[in-house]
Amino acid sequence: MRKTVNQGYKQDTVLQAARCSQKADTMDSSKAQIPSEFHIRKGVPGDARFLATLGRKTFSDSFAADNRPEDMAAYLDASFGPGKQSLELADPLSVFLIAEVRGRAAGYARLLKSPVPPGIRIRPERPIQLVRLYACRQWIGRGAGPALMRACIAESRKRRCDGIWLSAWDRNIRAIRFYRKWGFSRVGTRPFLVGNDRQNDLVLWRPLLAAPQ
Ligand SMILES: CC(C)(COP(=O)(O)OP(=O)(O)OC[C@H]1O[C@@H](n2cnc3c(N)ncnc32)[C@H](O)[C@@H]1OP(=O)(O)O)[C@@H](O)C(=O)NCCC(=O)NCCS
Protein backbone atom coordinates (compact mmCIF):
# COMPACT_ATOMS: atom_id res chain seq x y z
CA MET A 1 0.00 0.00 0.00
CA ARG A 2 1.20 3.61 0.34
CA LYS A 3 2.73 3.02 3.72
CA THR A 4 6.04 4.80 3.35
CA VAL A 5 4.65 7.76 1.46
CA ASN A 6 1.75 7.83 3.80
CA GLN A 7 3.79 7.96 6.95
CA GLY A 8 5.06 11.43 6.19
CA TYR A 9 1.70 12.28 4.74
CA LYS A 10 -0.06 11.00 7.82
CA GLN A 11 1.88 13.22 10.20
CA ASP A 12 1.39 16.26 8.01
CA THR A 13 -2.30 15.69 7.58
CA VAL A 14 -2.91 15.16 11.29
CA LEU A 15 -1.45 18.61 11.81
CA GLN A 16 -3.40 19.98 8.86
CA ALA A 17 -6.64 18.61 10.24
CA ALA A 18 -5.86 20.08 13.62
CA ARG A 19 -5.20 23.45 12.01
CA CYS A 20 -8.48 23.30 10.11
CA SER A 21 -10.53 25.44 12.44
CA GLN A 22 -7.78 27.75 13.61
CA LYS A 23 -7.66 28.96 10.06
CA ALA A 24 -11.43 29.09 9.92
CA ASP A 25 -11.56 31.49 12.80
CA THR A 26 -9.32 33.98 11.08
CA MET A 27 -10.21 33.40 7.43
CA ASP A 28 -12.27 35.92 5.51
CA SER A 29 -14.09 33.46 3.26
CA SER A 30 -15.30 36.16 0.87
CA LYS A 31 -11.67 36.82 -0.06
CA ALA A 32 -10.51 33.20 0.00
CA GLN A 33 -9.99 31.40 -3.28
CA ILE A 34 -12.59 28.75 -4.00
CA PRO A 35 -10.83 25.84 -5.70
CA SER A 36 -12.36 24.65 -8.93
CA GLU A 37 -11.54 21.09 -8.02
CA PHE A 38 -11.27 19.09 -4.83
CA HIS A 39 -9.03 16.06 -4.88
CA ILE A 40 -10.95 13.09 -3.49
CA ARG A 41 -9.03 10.05 -2.35
CA LYS A 42 -9.93 6.88 -0.47
CA GLY A 43 -8.78 6.36 3.10
CA VAL A 44 -5.95 3.84 3.60
CA PRO A 45 -4.87 2.02 6.79
CA GLY A 46 -2.24 4.68 7.56
CA ASP A 47 -5.00 7.31 7.80
CA ALA A 48 -6.43 6.04 11.11
CA ARG A 49 -4.89 8.71 13.32
CA PHE A 50 -5.60 11.48 10.83
CA LEU A 51 -9.24 10.42 10.41
CA ALA A 52 -9.70 10.15 14.17
CA THR A 53 -8.47 13.73 14.58
CA LEU A 54 -10.49 15.01 11.62
CA GLY A 55 -13.64 13.15 12.72
CA ARG A 56 -13.42 14.40 16.27
CA LYS A 57 -12.75 17.98 15.21
CA THR A 58 -15.46 18.23 12.57
CA PHE A 59 -18.10 16.58 14.79
CA SER A 60 -17.22 18.85 17.66
CA ASP A 61 -17.18 21.98 15.45
CA SER A 62 -20.62 21.02 14.14
CA PHE A 63 -22.44 20.06 17.32
CA ALA A 64 -20.59 21.11 20.50
CA ALA A 65 -22.53 24.36 20.78
CA ASP A 66 -25.87 22.51 20.86
CA ASN A 67 -24.98 19.68 23.25
CA ARG A 68 -23.98 19.31 26.89
CA PRO A 69 -20.18 19.05 27.22
CA GLU A 70 -20.44 15.72 29.06
CA ASP A 71 -22.66 14.19 26.33
CA MET A 72 -20.32 15.50 23.67
CA ALA A 73 -17.23 14.14 25.40
CA ALA A 74 -18.84 10.72 25.81
CA TYR A 75 -19.84 10.59 22.14
CA LEU A 76 -16.44 11.75 20.89
CA ASP A 77 -14.56 9.26 23.08
CA ALA A 78 -16.79 6.40 21.95
CA SER A 79 -16.61 7.30 18.26
CA PHE A 80 -13.16 8.64 17.46
CA GLY A 81 -9.71 7.30 18.16
CA PRO A 82 -6.99 5.67 16.08
CA GLY A 83 -8.09 2.17 17.17
CA LYS A 84 -11.70 2.81 16.21
CA GLN A 85 -10.88 4.33 12.81
CA SER A 86 -8.32 1.52 12.15
CA LEU A 87 -11.13 -1.00 12.48
CA GLU A 88 -13.41 1.06 10.25
CA LEU A 89 -10.66 1.37 7.62
CA ALA A 90 -10.09 -2.39 7.71
CA ASP A 91 -13.78 -3.19 7.23
CA PRO A 92 -14.37 -4.31 3.61
CA LEU A 93 -17.96 -3.04 3.84
CA SER A 94 -16.76 0.48 4.61
CA VAL A 95 -14.94 3.18 2.67
CA PHE A 96 -13.69 6.64 3.62
CA LEU A 97 -13.56 9.39 1.01
CA ILE A 98 -11.33 12.32 1.86
CA ALA A 99 -11.53 15.71 0.13
CA GLU A 100 -8.30 17.66 -0.13
CA VAL A 101 -7.28 21.03 -1.43
CA ARG A 102 -3.58 21.41 -2.16
CA GLY A 103 -2.91 18.39 0.06
CA ARG A 104 -4.89 19.71 3.02
CA ALA A 105 -8.06 18.16 4.36
CA ALA A 106 -11.29 19.92 3.36
CA GLY A 107 -13.68 17.23 4.61
CA TYR A 108 -14.50 13.55 4.54
CA ALA A 109 -17.27 11.02 4.13
CA ARG A 110 -17.71 7.42 5.19
CA LEU A 111 -19.92 4.89 3.44
CA LEU A 112 -20.90 1.52 4.92
CA LYS A 113 -22.88 -1.31 3.37
CA SER A 114 -25.64 -1.74 5.92
CA PRO A 115 -29.39 -2.33 5.92
CA VAL A 116 -31.83 0.49 6.60
CA PRO A 117 -32.84 0.54 10.28
CA PRO A 118 -35.88 -1.41 11.48
CA GLY A 119 -39.22 0.38 11.26
CA ILE A 120 -38.31 2.29 8.09
CA ARG A 121 -40.88 1.95 5.38
CA ILE A 122 -38.55 1.01 2.54
CA ARG A 123 -36.74 -2.33 2.23
CA PRO A 124 -34.12 -1.89 -0.47
CA GLU A 125 -32.07 -4.90 -1.53
CA ARG A 126 -28.62 -3.32 -1.74
CA PRO A 127 -28.56 -0.18 0.41
CA ILE A 128 -25.46 1.69 1.54
CA GLN A 129 -25.32 4.06 4.48
CA LEU A 130 -23.70 7.46 4.34
CA VAL A 131 -22.45 7.25 7.90
CA ARG A 132 -20.58 10.55 7.95
CA LEU A 133 -20.29 13.60 5.74
CA TYR A 134 -18.33 16.49 7.19
CA ALA A 135 -16.72 19.51 5.59
CA CYS A 136 -14.04 21.32 7.59
CA ARG A 137 -15.49 24.50 8.94
CA GLN A 138 -13.77 26.83 6.47
CA TRP A 139 -15.03 24.75 3.52
CA ILE A 140 -18.71 24.73 4.46
CA GLY A 141 -20.65 26.44 1.68
CA ARG A 142 -17.55 26.35 -0.53
CA GLY A 143 -17.84 23.13 -2.49
CA ALA A 144 -16.39 20.39 -0.27
CA GLY A 145 -19.83 19.00 0.64
CA PRO A 146 -21.00 18.74 -2.99
CA ALA A 147 -17.64 17.27 -4.10
CA LEU A 148 -17.88 14.59 -1.42
CA MET A 149 -21.52 13.86 -2.22
CA ARG A 150 -20.66 13.41 -5.92
CA ALA A 151 -17.91 10.99 -4.94
CA CYS A 152 -20.25 9.10 -2.58
CA ILE A 153 -22.83 8.66 -5.32
CA ALA A 154 -20.19 7.47 -7.79
CA GLU A 155 -18.69 5.04 -5.26
CA SER A 156 -22.13 3.67 -4.32
CA ARG A 157 -22.95 3.08 -7.97
CA LYS A 158 -19.62 1.34 -8.45
CA ARG A 159 -20.58 -0.99 -5.58
CA ARG A 160 -23.88 -1.65 -7.36
CA CYS A 161 -26.00 -0.29 -4.52
CA ASP A 162 -29.63 0.57 -5.18
CA GLY A 163 -29.67 3.61 -2.94
CA ILE A 164 -28.05 5.59 -0.14
CA TRP A 165 -29.58 6.09 3.29
CA LEU A 166 -28.47 8.28 6.15
CA SER A 167 -29.73 9.72 9.35
CA ALA A 168 -29.48 13.39 10.26
CA TRP A 169 -30.41 15.23 13.45
CA ASP A 170 -33.81 16.84 12.90
CA ARG A 171 -32.29 20.14 14.15
CA ASN A 172 -29.52 20.08 11.53
CA ILE A 173 -31.43 22.26 9.08
CA ARG A 174 -28.48 23.07 6.84
CA ALA A 175 -27.53 19.42 6.32
CA ILE A 176 -31.17 18.42 5.71
CA ARG A 177 -31.52 21.13 3.11
CA PHE A 178 -28.28 19.97 1.48
CA TYR A 179 -29.50 16.35 1.35
CA ARG A 180 -32.84 17.36 -0.15
CA LYS A 181 -30.98 19.26 -2.86
CA TRP A 182 -29.15 16.02 -3.61
CA GLY A 183 -32.36 14.01 -4.05
CA PHE A 184 -32.78 12.53 -0.55
CA SER A 185 -36.23 12.32 0.95
CA ARG A 186 -37.53 11.37 4.36
CA VAL A 187 -38.47 7.73 4.91
CA GLY A 188 -38.69 7.65 8.70
CA THR A 189 -37.08 8.64 11.98
CA ARG A 190 -34.87 6.95 14.53
CA PRO A 191 -33.43 7.80 17.93
CA PHE A 192 -29.75 8.74 18.13
CA LEU A 193 -27.75 8.87 21.36
CA VAL A 194 -25.22 11.61 22.01
CA GLY A 195 -23.88 10.61 25.41
CA ASN A 196 -27.03 10.37 27.53
CA ASP A 197 -29.08 12.66 25.29
CA ARG A 198 -31.60 10.78 23.14
CA GLN A 199 -32.09 12.83 19.97
CA ASN A 200 -34.44 12.46 17.04
CA ASP A 201 -32.86 11.73 13.65
CA LEU A 202 -34.58 11.86 10.28
CA VAL A 203 -33.82 8.86 8.09
CA LEU A 204 -33.34 9.96 4.48
CA TRP A 205 -33.09 7.86 1.33
CA ARG A 206 -31.86 8.54 -2.16
CA PRO A 207 -32.44 5.90 -4.81
CA LEU A 208 -29.66 5.35 -7.32
CA LEU A 209 -31.07 5.06 -10.78
CA ALA A 210 -29.27 3.30 -13.58
CA ALA A 211 -28.47 6.48 -15.51
CA PRO A 212 -25.66 8.72 -14.20
CA GLN A 213 -26.88 11.95 -12.55
C1 LIG B 1 -23.53 18.90 5.41
C2 LIG B 1 -22.47 19.66 4.63
C3 LIG B 1 -21.35 18.71 4.20
C4 LIG B 1 -23.09 20.27 3.37
O5 LIG B 1 -22.15 21.05 2.71
P6 LIG B 1 -22.45 22.61 2.42
O7 LIG B 1 -21.20 23.19 1.91
O8 LIG B 1 -23.04 23.22 3.64
O9 LIG B 1 -23.55 22.47 1.28
P10 LIG B 1 -24.28 23.60 0.42
O11 LIG B 1 -23.80 24.97 0.79
O12 LIG B 1 -24.17 23.17 -1.00
O13 LIG B 1 -25.79 23.41 0.83
C14 LIG B 1 -26.30 23.83 2.06
C15 LIG B 1 -27.66 24.46 1.85
O16 LIG B 1 -28.23 24.84 3.08
C17 LIG B 1 -28.58 26.23 3.03
N18 LIG B 1 -28.45 26.76 4.38
C19 LIG B 1 -27.39 27.30 4.97
N20 LIG B 1 -27.69 27.64 6.23
C21 LIG B 1 -28.97 27.30 6.43
C22 LIG B 1 -29.85 27.41 7.51
N23 LIG B 1 -29.47 27.93 8.68
N24 LIG B 1 -31.11 26.97 7.35
C25 LIG B 1 -31.52 26.41 6.20
N26 LIG B 1 -30.72 26.27 5.12
C27 LIG B 1 -29.46 26.72 5.26
C28 LIG B 1 -27.60 26.82 2.06
O29 LIG B 1 -28.06 28.04 1.57
C30 LIG B 1 -27.59 25.72 1.00
O31 LIG B 1 -28.76 25.70 0.21
P32 LIG B 1 -28.83 26.46 -1.22
O33 LIG B 1 -27.73 25.88 -2.06
O34 LIG B 1 -30.20 26.10 -1.73
O35 LIG B 1 -28.63 27.90 -0.94
C36 LIG B 1 -21.85 20.81 5.50
O37 LIG B 1 -22.84 21.78 5.79
C38 LIG B 1 -21.24 20.33 6.81
O39 LIG B 1 -20.16 19.76 6.81
N40 LIG B 1 -21.95 20.60 7.91
C41 LIG B 1 -21.47 20.25 9.24
C42 LIG B 1 -21.45 18.76 9.45
C43 LIG B 1 -22.81 18.13 9.26
O44 LIG B 1 -23.81 18.64 9.69
N45 LIG B 1 -22.79 16.97 8.58
C46 LIG B 1 -23.98 16.21 8.31
C47 LIG B 1 -24.29 15.31 9.42
S48 LIG B 1 -25.77 14.38 9.07
Question: What is the Å distance from ligand 1's center to 170 Cα?
Answer: 13
Determine the pLDDT at residue 210.
Answer: 61
Neighbours of 39 (CB within 10 A): 13
Please say if the pLDDT value at position 18 is more than 50: no
Residue 123's contacts (CB-CB under 8 Å, 6 or more residues apart) are 116
What letter represents residue 58's amino acid?
A: T
Question: What is the Å distance from ligand 1's center to 136 Cα?
Answer: 12
pLDDT in tens, 90-123: 999 999 999 999 999 999 999 999 999 999 989 9
Q: For the domain 3-18+36-207, what is the CATH code?
A: 3.40.630.30
The three-state secondary structure class of 10 is helix
Q: Which residue has the higher pLDDT, 206 or 3?
A: 206
- In this prediction the pTM is 0.87
Determine the pLDDT at residue 19.
Answer: 33
With beta carbons less than 8 A apart as the criterion, state whether 116 and 124 touch: yes
Determine the pLDDT at residue 23.
Answer: 35
Pocket test for ligand 1, best of 170, 174, 177, 204 (most atoms within 8 A of CB): 174
pLDDT in tens, 52-83: 999 999 999 999 999 999 999 999 999 999 99
